[in-house]
Structure 1
Amino acid sequence: MAQQRDWVPQDVDISVPSMARTYDYILGGGHNFAVDRAVGVQIEQIMPGLRQAARVNRAFLGRAVRFMADQGIRQFLDIGSGIPTVSNVHEVAQSRDPECRIVYVDRDPIAVAHSELMLAGNDRAAIVHADMRDPESILASPEARRLLDFDEPVGLLMLLMLHWVDDESDLPGLLARYGDALAPGSHLAVTHASGDHQGREVTDATEVIRRSRSQDQMNLRTHAEIGALLKGFDLVEPGLVGCGEWRPEGPADISDSPDMNMLVYAAVGVKS
């Protein structure tokens, strides 16, 4: 293994790419390694507008959190929060109301380590090191018990997360376990990659990830398949649409490339 940098947890194998770190690279972040950048460069060569798609997804995060806050949501659970960058959930939510409480969850040790540094001194936000496939441990974690009241509505975010869960892991059942823990009036925001509006490029990009030996493997789903996952939540207008089409507030929320606006579907739903 290559020599570790001082900000890297000792148990992290930096010879194997992480999609959290590759996404950090695509967003222009600095917490990634050569192996992550190599995957990112290969995917960008196949899909030159990928950085625009990442920016559009990040912009959706802000709009979704602001929408939830405007509906009275004051506590948020962000599953697969990734490596901290600008306009994180707690920054957006607490700009609306400083009393908002946020629990982040990620399985990537580097994402967790940097989140802990970022959240130091913020007693209304915390990070849990866990895999989204184990909702019970997340919901029962000390951080969730301290900050979240599941008798009240919660804003649950799963952005660019569901396509990393394969069909064998029973994704509908997994989402139902989260949904069952939420009070009526809770909101769910999701984004999910799809090949519906792409050509061969998205399949080739998925193959790059498969060959990379990363434990994160993408599972593309259609609009209908993604919509079926949201059972139990009433989608707010405009429903399940391309990420750039979900209530854009200005040119910065939309890509110049129509394909990149539709690479990822987005939706916000409310539990009745």
Structure 2
Amino acid sequence: MNKDESAGAIVLGATPIGNLADASPRLREIMATADVIAAEDTRNFHHLASALGVTVSGRVMSLHEHNEVAKREEVIDLAESGATVLVVSDAGMPAVSDPGYPLVAAAMERGVLVTAVPGPSAVLTALALSGLPTGRFTFEGFLPRKAGERRKRLQALATEQRTMVFFEAPHRVAEFLSAAAEEFGTGRLGAVARELTKKFEEVRRGELGELSQWAAEGVRGEIVVVIAGAPEPEPEKAEDLIELVQQRVAEGTRMKDAAAEVASAHGVKKRELYEAVLAARES
């Protein structure tokens, strides 16, 4: 970590998402040497340190979704005064669907160094194992629990062309998949990854309709759902736009101008559409 010896820093530490062997040497080192550890759950952090054989020398404090706003200034003050503050969540990278984002934003506003010790990621692991396109994706986290609000979010994503990654609780995953199948279509491809990096890791791939039926029987463990993006819309053809041009001509627009306006609005070649209208008129 490149920084002034006298300056402090906030360090986001990625913890294992299941398999403890995934803890990096850098994570172990900073767990042992950080002046302060701000943990989502202090008991879980102490269990992790014990399991990794790490002796913690710094002060351990809680930083979770219910106290993050109240505690963030304290954490930033500590770093500003020269302390190295390690921020950890229960699993994975802090600030990604876990406490951390408000702290990071406020620290950067105050000019405090924020860096990271990267490591395990449920999002990227599930995406890579899904068998779906990985070149472009969007992380949607947990959707609203209420059916109406969840449906609105899914409807807004119905035309999203990037692969989508969601978190969901095991007791709600069947309901989520059923709602996704309804909004995206039962044939849309998806994958449900459960217990990633653990002994009973499983990735179930298939169409949303099939996955919904499978999940209805009951699913256990930590869940990540990956859903394929919407297919690119078929490009419009000049022949399909002839009637629109004819309507504008009937309203008094010159055919050449009408063809140009419609072609521009629908992304087809003006000349091609004009000739298609002429051909239709002759026939």
So what's the TM-score if we normalise by structure 1? Answer: 0.31
So what's the TM-score if we normalise by structure 2? Answer: 0.30
| Relative contact order higher in (CA < 8 Å, ≥ 6 apart) | 1
